[in-house]
Amino acid sequence: MGRHTELDVGLVVTAHGRHVMVETPDGARVQCHLRGKKSECVVGDRVRWQASGDEGVVEHVEPRRNLLMRQDEWRTKSFAANLDQILVLVAGEPMFSESQLSRALIAAETAGIPVRVLLNKAELPQAEAARERLQPYRDMGVQVLEASLKTRPQESRELLRPLLQESATLVLGPSGTGKSTLVNLMVQDAQAQVGDISQALNSGRHTTTTTRWYWLDPAVRHGALLDSPGFQEFGLRHVSAEELPRLMPDLRAHLPDCRFYNCTHRHEPGCGVRAAVERGEIAASRYRIYGEIREELERTKW
């Protein structure tokens, strides 16, 4: 590490393949490429870089506090580092997928990143069904907030500002949930920041598929939102089937009650988890999702 300390330091604000946009401490942005075939940068990385003509070369990635990743059948995809929290947007219209929410929570738990859930469009009648689906998550300690980003913007801003203003927050959620509305509501000059990145990345090329870093206030640069496109299915192949129950807080609470230390919580006698499901202490939907993910992980062992 010592040999890199004299290099300029920067923050990765968007990344696509071998190209990243690095922001300097004074706010300038420089397109850089990565040194070496194996190096990888993600949004939120702190890097050491040096100028090379009009562009730059990233020579070193500083140690990360955390790294959020998902892993599918083909490859591991890391897409944000050094996060303070994740905000998952859900709604009743379109109705959110409990499986997707659970996978995002497990990925965050694996990375050690706190999560809040925001139920948007809280004024719609469909929100009541969404509240019911979210109850097991409230019960296991997930903070669930409610807002109407479009119809009550001022109220929503006042609710969210204290939670976001000093943090780097990754915003996740399916399209149609209100992520763009959230970014435009909370970020000063959001469109201008998009334009800067699009221009720097060659007239909008790739920008719809990359995670982007937005300063809530570009002049102050304390808090930031990271907007990740879509709500990609979180593959969890970097998680082992054995550790899965420990990453689900409602199941984890009942693991000490199992008779066997290597209980799979599916058919063994004396299983504390299944007994808790029967007593209604673990929601049937959560137990079903556990079974689906466990089966997936067992089927795809390395």
Instruction: Establish whether 291 is an annotated binding residue.
Output: no
Instruction: Establish whether 32 is an annotated binding residue.
Output: no
Distance CA 34, CA 47 (A): 10
Q: For residue 127, which of 170, 89, 163 has the smallest C-alpha distance?
A: 89
Instruction: Establish whether 207 is an annotated binding residue.
Output: no
Instruction: Establish whether 180 is an annotated binding residue.
Output: yes
Cross-strand partners of 5: none
Instruction: Establish whether 263 is an annotated binding residue.
Output: yes
The three-class DSSP label of residue 84 is coil
∠ at Cα 110 (106, 115), nearest 5°? 60
Instruction: Establish whether 181 is an annotated binding residue.
Output: yes
Distance CA 101, CA 247 (A): 13
Instruction: Establish whether 240 is an annotated binding residue.
Output: no
Instruction: Establish whether 173 is an annotated binding residue.
Output: yes
Alpha helices in 33-172, H assignment, sequence order: 98-111, 127-139, 153-164
Contact 146, 138 (CB under 8 A): no
- Exposed e or buried b per residue across 44-79, where buried means at least 16 C-beta atoms within 10 angstroms of its C-beta: bbbbbbeeeeeebbbbbbeebeebbbbbeeeeeebb
Instruction: Establish whether 174 is an annotated binding residue.
Output: yes
From residue 170, how far is each of 126, 213, 234, 265 by CA, in Å?
26, 9, 15, 33
∠ at Cα 107 (271, 278), nearest 5°? 25
For residue 223, give every residue at least 6 positions away whose Cβ sits within 8 Å of its Cβ, in sequence order, or none.
164, 165, 166, 167, 168, 169, 215, 216, 217
Instruction: Establish whether 175 is an annotated binding residue.
Output: yes
Contact 208, 152 (CB under 8 A): no
Instruction: Establish whether 265 is an annotated binding residue.
Output: yes
Binding residues: 173-181, 258, 263, 265, 271
Binding residues for Zn(2+): 258, 263, 265, 271
Binding residues for GTP: 173-181
